[in-house]
């Protein structure tokens, strides 16, 4: 049982920053955090019942986060009676493509294409912004740790993170 716990912990540490970065492109911070946490909770429940298929794990996690984000946007839309432009676009994409097929190969290709788009958009960020973004989302460093590493103020780090998310959201959602 200890190895199951350790493997889940490793999975969490490895994927959380990437999935959180993706969710933040679609939702606000608290909502994104909730969506990613729900996916990990689902994975934990699933892993206790069945073995997780590691060959499709990456695609599964991104697809699950995307679905949670769409659900959150749909809930917000119903609650507020309108969706943001990004929400409408995601709902349209969902209805046209994502639920058209549950094919694992298509899901894997989508996840790979999505990751390539995210990586490409990250590479287009200004150098300091890109460095902050990678330290925060890929390496899981806190704003305080990044400030110390880069010898800049914590508020500057937070501004870089905010600007990067805003820029990536524009590039990937519009």
What single-letter DSSP state applies at residue 118? H
26, 173 Cβ separation under 8 angstroms? yes
pLDDT tens-digit map of 102-160: 556 666 666 777 777 777 888 888 999 889 988 888 788 888 999 999 999 999 998 88
What does the alpha-carbon distance between residue 103 and residue 87 come to, in Å, rounded to a whole number? 24
Higher per-residue confidence, 148 vs 3: 148
pLDDT tens-digit map of 76-96: 665 554 445 555 666 666 555
132, 146 Cβ separation under 8 angstroms? yes
Higher per-residue confidence, 172 vs 15: 15
What does the alpha-carbon distance between residue 60 and residue 113 come to, in Å, rounded to a whole number? 14
What does the alpha-carbon distance between residue 61 and residue 59 come to, in Å, rounded to a whole number? 6
Report CA-CA distances (Å) from 95 to 31, 39, 65, 174: 22, 21, 16, 17
pLDDT tens-digit map of 5-41: 557 788 888 888 889 888 888 888 888 889 999 998 8
């Amino acid at each position: 049982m200890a190895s199951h716990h350790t493997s889940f912990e490793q999975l969490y540490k490895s994927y959380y920053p990437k999935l959180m970065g993706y969710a933040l492109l679609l939702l606000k911070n608290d909502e994104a955090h909730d969506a990613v946490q729900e996916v990990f909770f689902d994975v934990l429940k699933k892993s206790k019942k069945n073995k997780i298929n590691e060959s499709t794990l990456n695609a599964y996690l991104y697809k699950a986060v995307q679905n949670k984000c769409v659900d959150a946007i749909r809930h917000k839309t119903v609650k507020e009676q309108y969706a943001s432009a990004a929400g409408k676009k995601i709902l349209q994409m969902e209805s046209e493509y994502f639920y058209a097929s549950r094919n694992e190969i298509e899901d894997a290709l989508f996840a790979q294409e999505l990751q390539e788009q995210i990586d490409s958009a990250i590479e287009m960020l200004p150098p300091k912004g890109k460095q902050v973004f990678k330290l925060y989302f890929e390496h899981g460093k806190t704003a305080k740790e990044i400030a110390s590493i880069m010898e800049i103020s914590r508020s500057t780090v937070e501004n870089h993170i905010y600007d990067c998310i805003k820029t990536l959201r524009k590039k990937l959602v519009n």
